[in-house]
Structure 1
Amino acid sequence: MPSGKSSMKIYKILFTLLFLIVTFSVKAEEARYSQEQLINACNYLGGFCEIAKNKCRSEKSRNLEKCLVDFAIEVMNRQRIPQDPADLRNQKYAQIACEKLGDECDFIKLECLAGGGLFNACIAMSYFSIEVSKELCGVMGYKACLDRDRDFGVKVIHELTIPNIGKPIRQTMLNECNDAGNYKVKSMELKKFYYGYMKNLQYLKEPIRLSDEDDYEHKIQEEYYNCMKAVLEKAS
């Protein structure tokens, strides 16, 4: 059985992974929506409607109307999860993130609308991930780096974690790869930002507490994935 501290570290890793896959990506097909449905979607999104349209355009969706309505439906479904009252503690960090992000914050807010009950934490975590990607890959290459990290985060969840729920190998992978991909942030300002919003997560209805053993702020998902896959293949 893993120790209490080990369990909390694993919980933190999985929590971070879940946020990595909260990204706005809708596959447009050939379905058509009525003008009334489009108006209703825009009314529901409010001030985010034009931002959502721009996002759909930037994703080069073949069917702009379907992309917009599908996203409104996704937001509606996710917002059935009420905001955790403790998330208000991270409003300060969401504001700091938006000041740093500038116009890009509008797109981050849009993504985080579909993120469930931790809107402010989602914004803070998204900003942190962007800045870490800049540290790792530079300003010119950070977007590709960020996308790659998210892609491998999705692979960790869907290829290795979910299929092995209830199996001993899942815990073995988590334990043996606990340190794989751990990255210590170089910027002291960014490090302070990270511990600021993460410490507020201890007040959630399902608290997440940083362990005294934690000595990193980011996990490089490709390295984490490769480690877990190697453990799984070795056990096969």
Structure 2
Amino acid sequence: MNSEPLFLPLIAELELAKELNVTLDDYKISINNALQDATHASQLSSALLDFARASYNASQISFTDLRVDEILADAKVDLLQKNQDYRIGIHYMDNMADKDESNYDFYGNPYLLQVVFLNLMENACKYSADRSCRVEIEVHGKTLKIRFIDHGVGIDEKELDKIFDLFYRGANKHDEKGNGIGLSIVKRIIEMHHGSILLTSAPGEGSVFQVRFCSDNKKAALRKTAFSVFILLFYAFSHSDLER
């Protein structure tokens, strides 16, 4: 991707400051604008790179053993370090299944999962008047549910089906900067991990993004792999008998 267009506003701002007879305060304003443009360009480049990764076939992504709750906690720490006015609470719901830490064992890509959690927590904080996000995590049987709850302006019912479309930005988001890529990335990564995401929202009532994973996903993957190996071995032995 040619990155030059991303930096055109930055270049123009610096050229203007260089050529004009300006005061120190004018220079400060120009530098501040240039920094904002550079940050926006960097964020857009990172988002496009994440989108490309999320578009890979799952077989092209390296998966490993991990703990979903630990990835969630790491995402929270990372976000709060960059946004000190945000408030994020992670709540383990009162369910006996939540007491068993093995329920959070997972087989996935830690970087991509952190991208999911960062996006959902940042969106909740960004669009909440009090800059807060409530995260609820619970287990029902083999289903792991993580809810990201905000107290924002909410989303109109007509927009709910479009919210995960690439580059789509809702009518209520004009006051906040964004590129319309984040939620599309989130959905693709979740589906790559055989999960799903559900949005419930209403104007004036905030939004809830619920992510659902199968906490038994590694066992399912191992069964699938074992079955594939069995088929290959059966095929090999069958053909070796025929050749004799």
Higher helix share: 1
User: Rg bigger for which structure?
Assistant: 2
User: Does the TM-score normalized on the shorter chain lie above 0.5?
Assistant: no
Give the structure-1-normalised TM-score: 0.27
| Structure with more contact order per residue of length (Cα contacts < 8 Å, sep ≥ 6) | 1
Higher strand share: 2
